[in-house]
Structure 1
Amino acid sequence: MAMISPISVEVVSRETIKPLFPTPTHLKNYILSSDQNSPPIYIPMLLFYLNNTSINTYKKLYMLKKSLAECLSEYYPLAGTFRDDYSVVECNDEGAEFIEARVNFAISQIVGTSDVKLLNQLLPFEPIGNWGKLEGKKDEKEVLVAAQANLFRCGGLAIGVCISHKIADGTSVVAFLNSWASKSLNTTCENANIVPPPILDSAKDFPPREAPRYPHDTGITNKTIVTKRFIFDSSSILILKKQASNAIIGSSDENVKLPTQVEAISALIWRRILALYRSKPKHAKICVSVHAVT
């Protein structure tokens, strides 16, 4: 039997991508919203692309870097640095970190995996626990955004992005990625959708407030975090929705409004968690369930 070599992700280059246009003087100080009290973690995103284009690797990387520079001109706080105890971003156009890496496997062998340790290799750094300190950087300033372009043996591409949660939530991360994708397409496709520029005034709606903050030098550990993925097909979800509806209303009437997918699946997971705690002699008196939403 042939030996299967372990998956290897090799970093081949690192560079800083600066905004295409300098940030205007009157926008040099970006005041953070109440999210400045967020834990010192990064929001990670992984985007996978099959090799279904004739564009060569060199041009792909060129397009990604050029469009990222354009995007940073609009999302200018992401190219800055924190100051004043993480309450302000100095929009000094320091730039974003861009890493090129080569993967010795085909993209089909990784897509769909739930192996967090493996997937983290496709990110520029661990999203929890190291505060954006990139390997090889001499200064101690943590980056606000970093991207890693992973080129697979088959020609596929995975883009890993980490953005500081202190400056972005899930919605703003998606908006940033949509803008980057749009600008990347515009370099080769005249009919690509144009994403409007962001409105960066969240501090007006969610002003900063005095509140206990997470100690930035301790942060959150991932040593006791376990990640599991549960897949529900459409027929299973429909059964759960009907069961949840019958349990609440006590009726099998088809005209009764069914709970949403999120409500039905959340109820199932929550019920099993409670059953687990209650099965133990000294179960917790208080259980809390939290949903991350955008």
Structure 2
Amino acid sequence: MASNIPKAATLLDTCRVAPSATADSAAEQRLCPTFLDMPWLNFHSIRRLLFYQSPCSKSHFLETMVPSLTKSLSKTLENYLPLSGNLLYPLGSGMPEFRYVSGDSVPVAIAESNEASDFSYLIGNDSRIADEFYPFVPFLPEPRIDSESGFKIIPLLAVQITLFPGSGICIGVCNHHSIGDASSIVGFMKAWCSNCRLGGDDESSAQIVPLPVYDRSVIKDPLGLKNLFWNQLKDIKTEDVPITFPTNLVRATFVLQKEDIQRLKNLVLSKNPESLHVSSFTVTAAYVWTCLVKAAAEEGEEVDPDETEYFAFAVDARARLNPPVSDNYFGNCLAVAKTASTHRRLKEADGFFTAVKLIGDLISKKVNNRDEILSDVHTWFTDYMVLFGKRLFSVAGSPKFNLYDMDFGWGNPKKHEAVSIDGGPSMSLSKSGQLEGALEIGLSLPKPKMDAFATFFDEIINP
């Protein structure tokens, strides 16, 4: 739990929402982590905020909107039992597991913003103080030790619903990464939306969001990677690193319109018509990466020109495994791709083209190659342990997931914020909520570096 969270909201109520019970409800569900879940057991929790511009009175919020949200959440959890449960992390021998038992539930906080004017500020794109988002962010309850069973019990999901009087509401969702990747959690959130909007109509909701698949046997592990990974990480602490305030960070959103993305692609193809992979993701990631490298010098960072700059991103491996895994498989099914260059090379005038080639070649030769996507999986832990403290930049999210079509019944969100990027050097990436074919890039940086980044970002976008 973060300490000293800024007091810009008043807690109105707390409750716990359990899965709705039916004649077919399971009294217990146990899931064993696969080797693809293991790398995320000790990862920080994922925090998302969705802001909805739907002015309403406090009485309507408490008497209509909150009951609709909690009732539909209960209905949704009926098909997502693991999210109501816990990660059981062994204190001694044994393996971790996810367990739901009847009576488990999700903590939900109901709050009210103390300043209605905050809403327009928070949904903006310009630099905003990162600390000012935390009054609306849910945090997972503290883990507890069950000495009798020999497990640390780690909750997996928390929710907060906040009213901005006269402006709208914010829905915050926090999940432990080990239970599922973005594909799984976004699927859950879309199911919750459809249940809320459609009033729990099972048939209509199922047509919008297919039911999750929990069969862990579809993830093949002929090399015994699950045991290998567990032996490598079981002595590492599992707690989130506490967030301390002030964070001294600002958040900003940068938008690449469809025309901007095409301009970047044309620049690459005019220089090298034989480029292997010139996608929207490739040019966007390369552009942001190189702008950040240049911004380091403007901020006053002293970086050895020959120091290595790393870039990494997670890849949904469902369709890339052999055999492929269902799109609605619930869990972590991610491969990790990384590349690197030197600080000097990326700062040069053609650094953008260098980055495009590195990322494009990585996607073409590895990410889109079924025989290569997991070729280095057995060294993931050792490879990434050496990157701690290095200059690593990564991507959180994907344009594949449209977070702006999550309509609970009062319209689509005005703004999505991936608060988790405050915890490390990464960018959030998603489809734009306003412009067709555009991409939104979220960053959280010290203000001098953000200002420098913005200057470089505008050079090509606004020539």
Match of 1:133 among 124, 129, 141: 141
Letter in 2 for 1:133: P
Match of 2:51 in 1: 48
Deviation at 1:167, TM superposition (A): 0.5
Match of 1:128 in 2: none
Shift in alpha-carbon separation, 1:13–1:69, aligned structure 2, 3 A: same
Contact 2:47 2:138 in 1 (8 A): no
Match of 2:106 in 1: 96
What is the alpha-carbon distance in structure 2 between the residues aligned to residue 277 and residue 123 of structure 1? 29
Task: Give the secondary-structure state (helix, strand or coil) at the position aligned to 2:11.
Answer: strand
What is the alpha-carbon distance in structure 1 between the residues aligned to residue 131 and residue 78 of structure 2? 33
Match of 1:21 in 2: 21
Match of 2:254 among 230, 237, 249: 230
Task: Give the secondary-structure state (helix, strand or coil) at the position aligned to 1:230.
Answer: strand
Deviation at 1:217, TM superposition (A): 4.5
Contact 1:133 1:141 in 2 (8 A): no
Task: Give the secondary-structure state (helix, strand or coil) at the position aligned to 1:239.
Answer: helix
Give the root-mean-square deviation of aligned CA atoms: 3.7
1:151 maps to 2:163: yes
Contact 1:42 1:164 in 2 (8 A): yes
Task: Give the secondary-structure state (helix, strand or coil) at the position aligned to 1:291.
Answer: strand
The CA deviation string for residues 256-281 of structure 1, in whole angstroms up to 9 with x for no partner, is 99822211122223334555789957
| Percent identity over paired residues | 20
1:242 maps to 2:266: yes
1:213 maps to 2:233: yes
Specify every segment of 5 or more residues in structure 1 that has no aligned partner in the other structure, as ranges. Answer: 1-5, 126-131, 251-255
The CA deviation string for residues 43-90 of structure 1, in whole angstroms up to 9 with x for no partner, is 222122222789921111111111111111110011112214372112
Question: Aligned residues, how many?
Answer: 276
Task: Give the secondary-structure state (helix, strand or coil) at the position aligned to 1:154.
Answer: coil
Contact 2:56 2:166 in 1 (8 A): no
What is the alpha-carbon distance in structure 2 between the residues aligned to residue 133 and residue 63 of structure 1? 24
What is the alpha-carbon distance in structure 2 between the residues aligned to residue 7 and residue 236 of structure 1? 39
What is the alpha-carbon distance in structure 2 between the residues aligned to residue 280 and residue 155 of structure 1? 44
What is the alpha-carbon distance in structure 1 between the residues aligned to residue 89 and residue 262 of structure 2? 51
Shift in alpha-carbon separation, 1:277–1:209, aligned structure 2, 3 A: farther
Task: Give the secondary-structure state (helix, strand or coil) at the position aligned to 2:112.
Answer: strand
Which segment is superposed worse, 115-124 or 278-287?
278-287
The CA deviation string for residues 222-261 of structure 1, in whole angstroms up to 9 with x for no partner, is 67996554332333322211112223238xxxxx998222
More helix by share: 2
Higher relative contact order (CA 8 A, sep 6+): 1
What is the alpha-carbon distance in structure 1 between the residues aligned to residue 304 and residue 39 of structure 2? 34
